[in-house]
Amino acid sequence: MKHETKLLAVAGKGGVGKTSISAAFVRLLCRAHPDKRILAIDADPAVGLSTALGVEAGQTLDDIRKHIVNLVEEGEPREAIEMLAEARYRIFDTMVERPDFSFLAIGRPESAGCYCKVNAYLKEVISLLSQDFDYVVIDGEAGIEQINRRVMEKVTHLVLITDPSRKGVQVIETIRKVADELVMYERCGVIVNRLTDPALLERVQLPKEDLLCVIGVDDAHTMNDIEGKTVFDLPEDSPILRGAAQALTRLDLL
């Protein structure tokens, strides 16, 4: 039977809680599937997912890309080709291994121009690499650029995060439109985060069939951040954990 990786990508406007929800997904999947291989990918240049998960981010995928580019610029094409051939193994070396999950940081946004083939090759390596895991959670860069550059193509589940603001909703509407054209996904849904008053949900102009869950104010999570704790320190009844669990359940991942 062919192994099928569940690849969950999280996207939305900056500041709506993508990273916190991505970290919550990782925690919940680890608890629900202790026998499965889980990979958390931080595709946001701010590398916030490492903090939320309590992981020390070392070398990033972009460090590998830059090294290959530098070898080409310095007239060392043979070494660059050899390094590309070994990219899969080098990416494994950059991973942080925890008992219940693995972590990989993408690093800075890709550079455009004459090195697009290098970038495309490394993205393909990530795709192949993901097949070694049962669940992959990608915390995406704010906005739509990674969707435009197809960094998140061929995901199985696309989760769009917004706050109640019209701007947040507009961003996920744009991401959904672009994703429908460029991204191959099986399921897509929306989480409305930081809703201070449930009565305001009626004013959030979203197709209700797309709504995975609504998350209100989470004082426990706020205190967690202030004290520099990780998602694994949150109490089980934390609103963000309960909301993330509801979303994963509706996506048939829990």
Enumerate the domain spans of the chain.
6-250
> What pLDDT score was predicted for residue 148?
47
Query: Average pLDDT of the chain?
Result: 82
Average pLDDT over every residue of 224-248: 95
Which architecture, in CATH terms, is 6-250?
3-Layer(aba) Sandwich (3.40)
Angle at 241 between CA 48 and CA 167, to 5 degrees: 60
- pLDDT beyond 50 at 71: yes
- pLDDT beyond 50 at 200: yes
Structure-token match 């993408």, residue found: 106
> What pLDDT score was predicted for residue 123?
67
> What pLDDT score was predicted for residue 53?
96
For residue 196, name the pLDDT band (cuts at 50, 70, 90).
Answer: confident
Report pLDDT digits (tens) over 80-93: 666 666 666 777 77
Report pLDDT digits (tens) over 114-141: 445 555 655 666 677 778 899 999 898 7
- 19-33, 71-85, 102-116, 168-182 — which is least confidently predicted? 102-116
